[in-house]
Each structure stands twice: as structure tokens, then as C-alpha cells.
Structure 1
Amino acid sequence: MVTRQPGPDVDPQLQALTSLSGWRQFASELPAIPELLDTVTWQDLDPGKRAHYDDDRIAHHSRLLVVQTPAVRDVVTTGRRLAHMNRAARFGRSGLIVSGPARTGKTTAITQLGKTIEVIHRRRYPGCADHIPVIYITVPPAATPRMIAAEFARFLGIPVTRQANITDIIEAVCGVCADVRTTAICVDEIHNLNIATRPGAEASDTLKYFSERIPATFVLSGINVERAGLLSGPRGEQIAGRYSMVRTGPFPRDAQWATLVAAIEGSLRLHRHPAGALPDLAGYLHQRTGGMIGSLLWLIRSAAIQAVIDGTEKITRTSMDAIPVDIASQASSTRQGKP
């Protein structure tokens, strides 16, 4: 049975990973890959069943396929090791920073780490439904200390009134985290912290204070964190001294890239798509996407959905030529030229 997408009556905010309900849904879901019917059965489906079958396949192709890339494995392995090391630490806990260009799988990597920690915790404490082992937040643009604290509170479901000062919010967050046994905190879009400004520096201090008060492993992720200035100056030196780093980047055009393309092709559910067609286009795909896994997934997922909608049931170079990719990949494609 295929996991359905949320209906129109479901509040999208409740599905967001930055809400407790959305995170729990993400951490617990195991979406099934729909069965590909044999040609005769498929062609004999009546219009209603055919539409239902196609909807299931479109939903499958629209979901972000998690590929166990070296970066994902490295982040999950390193993060779990740090979590074990920090379990008995009373101070000086170590954290992890995931840094790299856009669309290189940073968010996928840290959310998979969080999901892994959540699943392990649930298995270890099956009767503790009130536990919140993992928190996931994103840093708002031009973040201030109060905005950072409010993101924690929003995830935990702590009401934040206009009258509440930042100390009240911090104390409430730290108290709840202790009660619900939070062990990992994932902070995405960390590049939005501009420590060159006073509000940004104070927001960075607030995040550091949370890391000292909450006995959890902090995992930060952002675009080219080293260049964003987060590791510069006295504050940056403190962060650099407590965090290790995993860097993500574009894939080179090599055997690993071809293997990645083949793995994605293996998840397709299209009736006329010949096996090996996408690996044969590995060079073209690298040129179109600049080796960025996020751009690759976007292109193939879009082409697969279009193939179901228009009835061609296969992905070709011609069909992918009609699908625009992100601006960064287009610029890379122009620099590389045709394969």
C-alpha cells in the first residue's frame, strides 16, 4: 500500500519538518514503492482505476528519493558517534557542521541523521510516546536571538506571547528538552546567521547557549559555512573548536556518478522505460546538473512525472531537454558545454 500525500484539509504547517507533528510523520513514514503492473493488466484498467494507479506513481516520483551517498553515510555515521560520545558529557559537547554548495544534499543528510536517531530512540523506549529525541529547525533570514529561541519553542509546541521575553522562552525550551529527553538538535540554513552584524552575533551566542544548556548533540547545516563568516573571529574560533565538519559537493563525472544515476533509475515506475537508458545518459545528466544531486533528482523526478501525465511512460534526452533545471545548474551547463 502506498503512503498517501496529505489531503487538502490538512494544514501544511503541520506537515513541515520544523513542526513536531511534521517531523514525527517524516521520522515514522515508510512509503512503499508502488507495484508496476504487467502490460496487459495495465492496459485493461478502467479509467477510474487507471487514474488511481497513475496518481500513486506520480506521488511516488514526486517524493524525494533518499540515495545513500557517501555524504549521507558520513553524516549519519559521524553524527551517531558524536551522540554516543556526548551522552555522558557534562560540558564541552562536540557537534557537527555540514557545509557545501546549494543542492548537494545537506538537508537530506542531516534529516536522515535525525530520522536514524529518532528511530533508534523509539525502539529503545517503545512506551515513551511523549519523548522528543530530535528537534529540527531552520534559521530565519536576518535571525535575531528571539527568533532563534522562538523556532525552538514553535517546534516543541510552546506558546510564545508578545509579552514573553527571550529569557522566558529559553528557560521554557531548556526545561521541555530536559523533560522529553532531547538528544539531537538539527539546525538548518545556518548561513542565515550573519555574525558580522550585532543581531546575528547575538543570535549565534543564543544558539551556543542552547548547546551548553541542552544535553544534546547539535548538528548545523548551511551553504559554504566557512565563507559565510560563521567560523571567523573569537565566536567562530569557539565554534570551530567544538565542531567537526562534513563537506558536501558536486559529484565528479565518474563511475560513482553512473552508479548514482542507475540507483535512481531503479526506483522509477514507468511502463516503457528501458533499463539502462539513464546510465547511458550519465554524461548528459552531469552536464545538465553540474553533478549536483539535488538538481539530478529534480530533473529525473520531473521527467518521470511528465512521462506518466503524457502517457509516454519513459524518460528520454528529448523529454529532459524540455525540463528546466535550477539557475546554478544552467550556468554550470553553459560553462561545460555539451557532452
Structure 2
Amino acid sequence: MQDRPTPGQHWPITTWQGWQHFATTPPPTAPQPGEPPRSTEERLAYHSAFVTVRTPAINTLATQVRTLMLLGRHQQTTARPSLIVTGPAAAGKTTALLEVGRTCHLAHTRKHPAPPGLAHQQVPVAYLLVPPGATAKTLATQFARYLGIPTTTRMTQTQITQAVCHTYTTAGVRLVLIDEIHRLNPRTTTGAEAAGLLKDLTERIKATFVYTGIDVAATPLFTGAAPNSPAAPASSPAAPSPPATARPDPSPTSSPTWRTPSTSPTTHPTHSPATPPTSTNAPPAASEASPASSAKQPSPPSATAPNASPRKHSKPSSSTTSPKKQAAPAPANRPKRHDADVKKSADTPNDEDFAALYDRAWDILIFARAGYLDDVSAHYDEVLHEIAQRTEHTGSLGKTDIAALVVWKRLTAQTRWATDLMSLPDTHVRAVTEQAVTAVRDTTLPRSEAARTGRGIIAELPGLRTGDALASAVLTAAAPQRMAVYDRRVQHALDTLGLTLTPAPGRYGRYLQLLDDLLSHGAARADGWSARDIDTALYQMGANPHPAGT
């Protein structure tokens, strides 16, 4: 591993080479008396290189991190205690995180110097950014990228995770800094899986994790509002129960608690932000945080603590996308709407009956979605995700992809159409699916129209001419952020909710229109939800004894 960039080469700080350069490069110095005058370019370079003021608050933060690292050093069976640094945007959270990381890095290298002539054999600190819309696999790839672990598009998430855990343990990583954690939304399928990956990594990598993000203490990620949040039992990336935010002492003469360091190019402490971020221990002690100090001793995990391992789930036994069978309570006396009325719903927001129908539907969908995330293994949809990632690069689905989706949907292949499909050249199948992929990804079309167009295109292929179960899986793999899966359980759930969807031609397009109507009427409750999230909630509540989809 190359420790430093060569002249003219730039490594991002989210790689080991970039972090090593950041941590070991001394801050710029001011001109000394007697030195020749600097050029304009040199002066601008000096003033653009911000200097972090070493305030008492940042010293306290560094001490807190070091304390948690010592406390977790001998913890072998569960995740180590973690830390959350939160606050509004532009308050200096990343600056504080980087300064603490630099302090820990330098402390480690001073205590464990490398032999003469050799580079350091250990990597004490890792720094990562959560990418926008991160999936579990892309997040695992970010961990791999930091240490230069080679990955390919054909590698599964499990393979990447195993390589990351082995390499991070071998390299001796002791502190993992994860920035922009607010980008994870555990209410979505991808966000819940990424949060589950973080929990897995905290238990398998012998390091202390520190998270930072914009007001994360009030988000589902750490409040326990979503089943896969860190505060929820058996489904979290770290260890916190609902974090206890340390509040500054109201006395103007008292020292501030967890204020962010000043980051002024002229090093004046008066440039500190007016609204500082707060830092919370994860997990906190059982009592409330004291205003005078935010230092907490981590409480031992209980039977419902987030550090507990997630429940093991049984193998899927019923049709479509998930293995469980729990159904939400069915609403009574729901007025049914005709398909034509559903299509007009976006144009009739003042229809009180229709709005009330959708309000009641959301009450049940939220409950069902929580049950789905709690009941279904986070690994079940790996097949769908791998096909979606492959389709992202190839722009089409082949016979192998469709066959895998048949297994994922638990459909029977002992049919005439399976023989007919396998008898076609793969190039022909890909030529057809390529047109469908282009159609459903066309953002100039409304979602329902794109779905209707894509569904019509793939109807040319055997097995996709009638029924929408397999066809919807193919289109969802082609555009997982836009499309959704349809099957008998979804239809049963819609009937239960009083949302009629007839089997007339064009059903899949009307189904996506109905999901769009639900999202548009969901208001704040639909925040972070996708069409795919709604279909998983419908699946959960639509349990029935019938075998695989229509």
C-alpha cells in the first residue's frame, strides 16, 4: 500500500493515502520576522488553508473518543460503544470529526512508531462518507475503497463485507469515522439494509465507530421510529438507544459543552458557529444527560438493546418477495373506488371521502411496513439488488436474470412458457428487455405511463405476456427507484384497503398510478417512501393461502 501521494498526485481523504497525508501534514505557518515577502499566490494559499483552533470543546471531544476506545478494547462479543456528533448544517461537525481523527492517528503513531525505513503496518483510523442514496453494497464498497481492497461488479455484498472485515482487522483499524450519516433513511428498503450492514460491521470490526450528520438525533436513524434504526431492537448500525443530547448549561459564565471548534482562516475563536452541534454517547446511560457534562458511561446491552444480534429468519415459504406471512389488521367498511376514480385522485385533493380512505390506508401501510422490516431477512432481496446492479451496467436483462427472478418470486418454472423462453436466443431476450429498461427509466414520462410502456414491451416474451408478477419483478429490477412489484398478495391487500384494481388490460400502469396517488396523499407520512416500499407493505398485509403470483 502506497502511504503518500507522489508529486502531482491527489488522493481523496476517504482513502488511506489521502488520510495519511491529511493527518501528518503540518498546518501552514504564518510568515516569520525577517522572511522575504510572500507572493500573492503564496498568501492566498496560506489563507485558504483553514486552521482548526484547538478549543477546550474539541479537546473534550477527543478525550471522549479515546475513552470509548479504551472502554471497548476488551469487548469481544457485541458492538463497541459508539459516539454520535450531531447539529445543524455548516456548524463544524466534519471539522471536529477530522480533528479528532487526526489526534487519534498521531497519538497511535507516536505510541507505535514504525521500524526505521518501513511504512506503518497498522491503519489506526478510517474515514468514510455515506454516499447519497447509499445501498448496503455501495456502503460496503466505500469501506473497501478506503484501504484499496479490490472489488468488482460481480462481487456480492457478502463477499465485499467479508473482505472488509478481514482487512480492517488485519490492518488494526481502531477508529472508524462515518460522516453524512443522515443520508441513511431506515424507512426505505435500501436505507434499512445499509443500516443493517453498519450494525454487522460494528460487531465484526474491532473498532469504535463515530457518526456525524445533520440533526441525526431527531431522525428515524437514531430515534427508533423505524425498525431498522440504531435505536430499534436487534436492527441497528451502532449501539445507541434514543440518544440523550447534551445541552449547554444556561449560565453564560459556564464553559460550553460540545461546542464545535472554530475554523477561521485567521484562527480567531470568535468565528465559532452560533448554533453548535451536540454530541451524544451511544449507547447512553439509563439516566438523562447532565447539563454540566455530556460524558457518559455506556450501559450494558439488554435483551432489547440495539447491540443484540438480529433475529434469524426462516426460509421463505410463500409467494413473491418475502418469506413471512404476518398481515396487518384489515380495515372495516372501506368505500371502494373504481380505477377511473383512482387515476383522477391527484386532481381531486378536496374529495374528503377519498382523502379519508387514503389516510386510513397509510395508517395500515406504516404498520405493515414495520412488520415487513421486522420479519423479513435483510439478505432476502440480494438477488433482486444484484440483478438491478447488473442491469444498471448492461442496460438489459438476459435469460439468466429472468430465471433468477423466477426463483426470487418463488414461481413455478414447470410450464410451457419456461421452455419457450429458454429456447429463445439470449440476444433476442436482451434486445426486448433493453427497450423496456429504457422505457421505465424515462423520467420525462410519468411513472404510470413509463410502467405501462415497459409492460407492453416485455409482453413479447414468453412468461411475460399475461399476469404481472414476473413482469413487475423484471421492470422493478430495471428501475428499482421507480417501479414496484405486483402479485396476488398485493392485490389482496388493495382489496382489503378498498382500493380497487381491476384485471383489465393496462393493470400494471394503473397499479403504479395508484401508488403515486398514495405517495402524493401521504404528506409527511410518505417522506422517504418509494413505490417499492409501498409494495413491500402491501405484500406484508396481503398474506393469503394461495401459491405464487398472478
Partner of 2:213: 222
Q: Are 1:100 and 2:87 matched, yes or no?
A: yes
> Per the alignment, do residues 195 and 95 of structure 1 end up closer, same or farther by CA in structure 2, a change over 3 Å counting?
same
User: In structure 2, how many angstroms separate the alpha carbons of the residues matched to 1:179 and 1:17?
Assistant: 21
The structure, 1 or 2, with the larger RCO (C-alpha pairs under 8 Å, 6+ apart) is 1
**Among candidates 16, 19, 27, match of residue 23 of structure 1:** 19
> Per the alignment, do residues 261 and 219 of structure 1 end up closer, same or farther by CA in structure 2, a change over 3 Å counting?
closer
Q: For residue 68 of structure 1, report the CA deviation from its aligned partner.
A: 2.6
User: In structure 2, how many angstroms separate the alpha carbons of the residues matched to 1:79 and 1:11?
Assistant: 32
**Among candidates 88, 93, 99, match of residue 112 of structure 1:** 99
Task: Kindly report which structure 2 residues correspond to 1:220-259, keeping only aligned pairs within 5 A, or say none.
Answer: 220-231=211-222, 232=224, 233-236=226-229, 237-238=231-232, 239=236, 241-242=239-240
Partner of 1:88: 74
- Residues paired across the two proteins, number: 255
**Among candidates 135, 154, 157, match of residue 163 of structure 1:** 154
Partner of 2:127: 136
> Per the alignment, do residues 103 and 266 of structure 1 end up closer, same or farther by CA in structure 2, a change over 3 Å counting?
closer
Partner of 2:64: 78
Moved segments of 4+, more than 4 Å: 238-241, 243-249, 252-257, 260-267
For the 8 Å contact 1:131–1:180, the answer to whether it is kept is: yes
| Range 126-135 or range 188-197, more displaced | 126-135
Task: Kindly report which structure 2 residues correspond to 1:143-222, keeping only aligned pairs within 5 A, or say none.
Answer: 143-222=134-213
Letter in 2 for 1:166: Q
> Per the alignment, do residues 170 and 11 of structure 1 end up closer, same or farther by CA in structure 2, a change over 3 Å counting?
same
Deviation digits for residues 80-123 of structure 1 (CA, Å, limit 9, x no counterpart): 10001111111331000100001111111111121111111111
User: In structure 1, how many angstroms separate the alpha carbons of the residues matched to 2:184 and 2:128?
Assistant: 13
Q: Could you say what the CA RMSD is over the residues aligned between the two structures, in angstroms? A: 3.5
The unaligned stretches of length 5 or more in structure 2 are 278-550
User: In structure 2, how many angstroms separate the alpha carbons of the residues matched to 1:222 and 1:124?
Assistant: 31
**Among candidates 41, 53, 58, match of residue 44 of structure 2:** 58
Q: For residue 254 of structure 1, report the CA deviation from its aligned partner.
A: 9.3
> Per the alignment, do residues 245 and 96 of structure 1 end up closer, same or farther by CA in structure 2, a change over 3 Å counting?
farther
For the 8 Å contact 1:17–1:136, the answer to whether it is kept is: yes
User: In structure 1, how many angstroms separate the alpha carbons of the residues matched to 2:99 and 2:164?
Assistant: 24
User: In structure 2, how many angstroms separate the alpha carbons of the residues matched to 1:78 and 1:167?
Assistant: 33
> Per the alignment, do residues 213 and 245 of structure 1 end up closer, same or farther by CA in structure 2, a change over 3 Å counting?
farther
Q: For residue 36 of structure 1, report the CA deviation from its aligned partner.
A: 4.7
> Per the alignment, do residues 217 and 248 of structure 1 end up closer, same or farther by CA in structure 2, a change over 3 Å counting?
farther
Partner of 1:334: none
Letter in 2 for 1:180: A
User: In structure 2, how many angstroms separate the alpha carbons of the residues matched to 1:263 and 1:191?
Assistant: 22
Letter in 2 for 1:24: Q
User: In structure 1, how many angstroms separate the alpha carbons of the residues matched to 2:168 and 2:261?
Assistant: 41
Partner of 2:274: 291
Q: For residue 228 of structure 1, report the CA deviation from its aligned partner.
A: 2.6
Partner of 1:325: none
Q: For residue 34 of structure 1, report the CA deviation from its aligned partner.
A: 2.6
Q: For residue 264 of structure 1, report the CA deviation from its aligned partner.
A: 5.2
Q: For residue 174 of structure 1, report the CA deviation from its aligned partner.
A: 0.6
For the 8 Å contact 1:103–1:292, the answer to whether it is kept is: no
Partner of 2:460: none
> Per the alignment, do residues 263 and 102 of structure 1 end up closer, same or farther by CA in structure 2, a change over 3 Å counting?
closer
TM-score normalized by structure 2? 0.42
Partner of 2:502: none
Letter in 2 for 1:206: L
Q: For residue 73 of structure 1, report the CA deviation from its aligned partner.
A: 2.7
**Among candidates 113, 138, 146, match of residue 126 of structure 1:** 113
> Per the alignment, do residues 196 and 124 of structure 1 end up closer, same or farther by CA in structure 2, a change over 3 Å counting?
same
TM-score normalized by structure 1? 0.66
> Per the alignment, do residues 119 and 263 of structure 1 end up closer, same or farther by CA in structure 2, a change over 3 Å counting?
closer
Percent of aligned pairs sharing the same letter:
34
Residue aligned with 1:226, SS: helix
Letter in 2 for 1:116: T
For the 8 Å contact 1:98–1:247, the answer to whether it is kept is: no
